[in-house]
Amino acid sequence: MPAKVVVPLFEAMVPDGLRLGGNYLVEFEPSSPWYEASVTIAARSVQSGLKTEYHSFHRNIADVKEALEGLGLSVDRETKRGMLRLIDSYAPATRQAKGQSLGRVGFLANRIPDVSRWGRAIKKQIAAGFEERDRRWLHIDDNTSLLLQFTDEESMLNGWRTVFIPWGRARELITVNGFVKGIASEAFYRKNEALYDGVFDMVTNEKEGRLEHFIRARRVQGESIDSRWKSVRLRPRGQVVIGRQALSRGTRHLAAVMFTDMVGYSKLMKKGEQLTLKLLDAQERAVRSTIPKYEGKVIKGTGDGFLVEFGSALAAAECAVAVQRRMERVRGGYGVTIGVHVGDVIHSGGDIFGDAVNIAARLQACAKPGGICISRQVHEQVSGKIRFPMRYLGTPKLKNIVAKVGVYELIPGAR
């Protein structure tokens, strides 16, 4: 039976440890503190005597070094004594000058992150065999999903299955790959998850203007796990700690989320409560009378809008169009704006949380009065199935959303 190693932070969920030769996936929402968590795992692992490779796709390697040293790790000393390797794929990926060497690094450092090219180099290394000093490391990728900028989904899946996972097993690595949610197709996520020995989720909930972060072990093959949601807290200098159980009764599933909002609500209140109440009542009638036809569920009212959940992106988009057409007579600059996104949501206490909810709210803010904005993921699922035109608006900056989100305008007034 393969040996197990207790890995910092993961020990809160898998107390018996992760196995050597195992491959583990952390799917994280863009606003969650996975990068801080990954650096904390690396620093604490080295300090506990576990040889650690940190492969940076997302951040400048100098920033990674600074973050590690902020947690009390001497990067130069630990690199020289063979306990730490920093692998830089950020610089070549962003076409910057090659970074200075930080001691002995992995052979993938300073290479353009191309799955096929890396695959050829790895196959040669597997054939040549590994020295003892290259075995039994913890290998952390901060954001493996950035490889999709250089290859297609199927090529990446094939490369991972036929090359990278065998490489990790041959070296007896504990491989932890971070992968951001919401940038690839749902089919890709399902196929990718099936390749791994364990899957962990990191999610974020925005509540009353404050972000709360959670982590859980969704599945780990052959291991006893604590699959309850646990809070993730940031301490000074970027250290991450796992707190007590949180969202223990929550359930997670894929859903389409629609946010509606009344434009100019503050101005309306200044003009008079009677007009405000009339418009809010018109919106409520339009929403509540329309969503049952599309099998939607009102999760909550937000004062001047609604949060609604649907079983499919198509149902949400068609409902959004129907609501706006109902609201056509209530305009004058004070119409309704709608945002629609599809992704994982967490049900807890009669509410839903997660980055899918946050993104839908930000898309709503991008829409013009009487308009609908949908994400690229929604566009992919409704394209060719809905009779209304859609116009690409680019990837505008969305408040508190780190990842770039492709935004489309769905035009309900045209056919």
Residue 306 has pLDDT above 90, yes or no: no
CA-to-CA separations, 203 to 174, 289, 344, 385, in angstroms, rounded = 23, 32, 9, 31
Of 155-164, 242-251, 287-296, where does mean pLDDT reach its minimum?
242-251
pLDDT of residue 235: 85
pLDDT band of residue 318 (cuts 50, 70, 90) is: very high
- Phi first, then psi, for residue 27 (nearest 5°) are -90, 120
Cβ–Cβ under 8 Å, residues 373 and 338: yes
pLDDT of residue 400: 72
Residue 49 has pLDDT above 80, yes or no: yes
Cα separation, 291 vs 182, in Å, equals 25
Cα separation, 227 vs 153, in Å, equals 29
Residue 294 has pLDDT above 80, yes or no: yes
Give the best-scoring range by mean pLDDT among 75-79, 289-293, 330-334: 75-79
CA atoms within 13 A on the CB side of 374: 28
Cα separation, 112 vs 96, in Å, equals 11
Q: What is the DSSP letter of 237?
A: G
pLDDT band of residue 267 (cuts 50, 70, 90) is: low
Q: What is the DSSP letter of 367?
A: S
- CA angle, 256 then 261 then 265, to 5°: 170
233-241 average pLDDT score: 86
% residues pLDDT > 70 (the chain): 85
pLDDT of residue 245: 52
Close Cβ partners of 52 (under 8 Å, ≥ 6 residues apart): 42, 45, 46, 83, 84, 85, 137, 138, 139, 140
Domains of the chain with bracketed CATH: 4-247 (3.40.50.300), 252-410 (3.30.70.1230)
pLDDT band of residue 8 (cuts 50, 70, 90) is: very high
Residue 205 has pLDDT above 90, yes or no: no
Please write the tens of the pLDDT for every residue from 216-229. Answer: 999 999 888 888 88
Residue 328 has pLDDT above 90, yes or no: no
Residue 19 has pLDDT above 80, yes or no: yes
Please write the tens of the pLDDT for every residue from 69-82. Answer: 999 899 999 999 89
Of 138-152, 247-261, 368-382, where does mean pLDDT reach its minimum?
247-261
83-100 average pLDDT score: 72
